[in-house]
Amino acid sequence: MANEKVIYVAPQVMSKHDGYTHLMTLYESARQEPSDSIVFDFTYTTWFEANLSAVLGAICELLTNQGKHVVVGGCNYAIQDVLQRNRFLCEFGYEPKRDIHQTMVAYTRFNPNEGDRFLEYIKNKLLAKPDFPSHSPNLGKKIRESIFELYENARTHGLCEQIHACGQYFPRKDNIKRLDLSIVDMGQSIKYNVNNYLGSQMTGSEAIEWALKYGNTTKTGDISGGLGLDIMFQFIKLNQGKVQIISSDGYWEYRRGEVRMLDFDLSFPGTIVNIEFNLSDTHDYYLEGEISLDDIF
Amino acid sequence: MNKAEVQINIAQNIGGDAAVSTEDGNEIFGLIKKDFDAGQVVILDFSGIEILTTAFLNAALGQLYSAYSSEQLNARLKLVNVADQDKILFKKVVARAKEYFANKKQFDQSANQAIHGS
């Protein structure tokens, strides 16, 4: 196309603060570009973490909604192979490739009312693959529970048009079996919701920290809230996993007992939750003493 | 089951084994309320439910505190066939709903006083 604008993706894009900064820069460059035709070009890219396809897919959705035509191109063999196996490139007319190593959780978009389809996705594509690493039934249940708390949170708080999900299994990351999953929505950011609700002026990372605390919620009306993110976070701490939340200009990360809060110069127009589960975990999660449901109210 | 009792099977009503969405929780809340209004004792049956979230339970059960007291709920709502590993979620949701509605009542009273000056 004559007036198409080529925007180059960085040589390495990983699920780290600088990787997210780069993805925001890609969005801002494309958004501000006068041309209506954008190419995200991977010519110089040698490493792109597959789960970040959810972030790039969400960015493409937003740009498309702004009237831009977006394509992806210039991928070398290795990148193209990964992005065809995880089905991201199918969004741009490429054929899907069979995931022979069974390490991909396919890039998929969901409408907010497609809870049942999301459930099937988690059941069939995440935890039930024939070659998927063995994990205890309790761990599988807790993982699904956490993912649904996140999905419901994105749906009800973000008020988004679509939810983008993509995952990757790493058999030997830090000598532990790990599963990364990214869930992205381009709805209202946590910073907007929290500051709007409290009438405050918190930074993005402060607003995320507020939203993660037990009992804190921006919900009003007759349905209480403030538990979903806390439950996910408490599980990840025990599971020795990792959580990154990026929303507006805020970055919040929990990893190996440490919280990192940073702010970006740019702003992400939605929320990314990147969660890493430790599949080598053998904890038993529900032996917290006998709980009686008689007179529980 | 005596005549004043009615059983609501969650899995049958939501059409699956995952009680995860606020909408499904709202539907169950509506059924419980209808049966309470008809003077029934409700037995809520969770058999066949594999995944539960607080989002579902907040809507289905937590929301009951907007209309009923702890005493009323303990007398008129029974939970059966809840998996042991899910019981902690019920405990958390109930505790949170009690806090939420206690604060909401205080908030509504202060707002009312501020508006009406009484």
ipTM: 0.82
> For residue A208, what are its two tokens?
């995320």
pLDDT tens string A38-53 = 999 999 999 999 999 9
A225 → chain B, closest CA residue: B58
Q: Is the pLDDT of residue B73 over 60?
A: yes
The residues, ordered by sequence, that sit 6+ positions from B111 with a Cβ below 8 Å of its Cβ are none
Where is pLDDT greater, at B37 or A283? B37
pLDDT band at A2, cuts 50/70/90? low
- Which of A195, A114, A123, A188 is closest to A151 using CA atoms? A114
Q: Is B22 on the interface with A (CB under 8 A)?
A: yes
pLDDT at A72: 96
Q: Name the band, by pLDDT with cuts 50, 70 and 90, for residue A144.
A: confident
- Answer whether B92 touches A (CB < 8 Å): yes
Average pLDDT, integer, range A241-258:
94
Beta-strand (E) ranges in chain B?
5-9, 18-19, 41-45, 51-52, 77-80
Locate the chain B residue with the closest alpha carbon to A291: B87
Interface test with A, best of B14, B85, B91, B101 (most A CBs within 10 A): B85
- What average pLDDT does range A133-151 have in this prediction? 78
Which range (A160-164, B96-100, B111-115) has the least confidence? B111-115
What band does A130 get if pLDDT is binned at 50, 70 and 90? low
Q: Given this model, what pLDDT does residue B112 score? A: 58
Task: Tell if the CB–CB gap between A227 and B66 is shorter than 8 Å.
Answer: no
Displacement of CA A284 from its chain's centroid (Å):
26
Amino acid type, A107: Y
Q: Is there a contact between A296 and B22 if contact means CB atoms under 8 Å apart? A: no
Mean pLDDT to the nearest integer, B89-112: 80
Q: Does A77 touch chain B (CB under 8 A)?
A: no
- Give the chain B residue nearest A230 (alpha carbons): B54
A11 pLDDT above the threshold of 60 = yes
B85 vs A285: CB contact, 8 Å cut-off? yes
Task: State whether residue A216 sits within 8 Å of chain B by CB.
Answer: no
CB-nearest partner of A152 from B53, B77, B94: B53
| pLDDT of the residue at A217 | 84
Query: In chain B, whose CA is at the least distance from the CA of A292?
Result: B87
Residue B118, pLDDT score: 44
- Residue A212 reports pLDDT greater than 70: yes
Interface residue B19 vs chain A (CB under 8 A): no
**B43 touching A (Cβ < 8 Å):** no
As a whole-number percent, the residues of chain A with pLDDT over 90 amount to 56
**CA dihedral over A82, A86, A92, A93, signed as positive or negative:** positive
Q: Grade residue A295 by pLDDT with cuts at 50, 70 and 90.
A: confident
3-state secondary structure of A200: coil
Q: Is the pLDDT of residue A1 over 60?
A: no
Give the mean model confidence (pLDDT) for residues B38-55. 94
Given pLDDT bands bounded at 50, 70 and 90, which one contains residue A121? confident
Tell me which residue in A152, A226, A286 faces B85 most closely, judged by beta carbons.
Answer: A286
Q: Residue holding tokens 């069979």?
A: A98
pTM: 0.88
Nearest by CB to residue B22, choosing from A141, A152, A285, is A152
**Range among A124-138, B36-50, B103-117 with highest mean pLDDT value:** B36-50
Q: Is A162 helix (H, G, I), strand (E, B) or coil?
A: coil
Helix, strand, or coil (residue A273): strand
Q: For A67-116, what is each residue's pLDDT tens digit?
A: 999 999 999 999 999 999 999 999 999 999 998 877 888 999 999 888 88
What mean pLDDT is predicted for residues A162-173? 86
Task: Tell which B residues from 44 to 73 touch A, by Cβ distance under 8 Å.
Answer: 50-55, 58-59, 62-66, 70, 73
Chains A, B: CB contacts within 8 A come to 97
Q: Which of A153, A295, A296 is the closest to B90 by Cβ?
A: A296
Neighboring chain A residues of B87 at a CB cutoff of 8 Å: 286, 291, 293
**Which of A144, A149, A297 lies nearest to residue B55, judging by beta carbons?**
A149
Angular region, B76: left φ>0, alpha ψ -120 to 50, beta rest: alpha
